Structure 1
């Protein structure tokens, strides 16, 4: 089944065989100057590891949403021969992409890049998680203030439901739960969705914060958690 895209991209897959034979420089030209269907196809086949970082940053800023989504999915994370520094670069590209465009695929690739970094350099990964956790706290607060429920749900789904076993993100999460009643209610009524992989001390800390933030009483949310994990 063809992927749903706006009408201007109809038939974009038919260009892929031709574009796969092009050099990276030629693909960059297609993305810069080609019609929409060829731009999307070029983004689907290009190796971003061969594209200068300033060019990628420009694409994040200027490309239409369907193309930015394809760009996000093309971030080359967790390659076996990639260095830790290269993996850290893709963490930052994914973070920048989400910060500027609010496309959820960047969050998926952010998590994947962080996993790749963990496999290559634990110390650098720990340092990077601290930075990313602080950024997540900041962006979540801003999105909540703006009332962007869709973006908040994306962060909860792609980061909080998958990575709370990383201590920096858990620490930030506990603070957010205490500040945001909506999140406190979600966590305390469905704690297993967030806390299944979190050690007991962290679970207690989050659910106590949820109670203070306007969620269910700790005893009630703890009982729900025990019944579902």
Structure 2
């Protein structure tokens, strides 16, 4: 899942980005709406995390304008404005969640994850194929009942492959949703993570390569 953090305070932005990356998200960042618009024109995000007061003014006005223009990405607003009227104005402007500063980073991560899952509301909490089970909420993976230890990237790739099954997921789609702007698109990071996943999942293989296209989970090799 890929998140865009829009916050002009460097210390707060760094803390939010670090917390979300530790929570397994691919995270891009922007200091204002101009940078955010550029990022959104290039990338597809699962959630926006917005400081309410940015250099261009109140993010509620900025978000409301973009909602009317067709923006559907879930948005969480971070703010020190905590009155009932402030929260009501936020939801009226198209905010999906409203978190008051100072906030607990662990709670923020859970709220962002909930919004990302809301965007894909048809995704079941437990993803299964053959004897593999992925608990997306607890971020646990078991095969034949045995708990496996995956890195954040390995979990993100496996989750996306399961959510999209039985469709083939291209390398570019995996890169787009599971890595952020710090990753080199010309590298072989996707293939490397898939290879690690195959090793950890064991036999029989569940992740199959569709030559020239990407990967899919389950069934016999194509």
Return the TM-score normalized by structure 2.
0.29
Bigger fraction of residues in strand:
2
Return the TM-score normalized by structure 1.
0.28
Between 1 and 2, higher relative CO (CA 8 Å, sep ≥ 6) is seen in 2
Bigger fraction of residues in helix:
1
**Radius of gyration: which is bigger?**
1
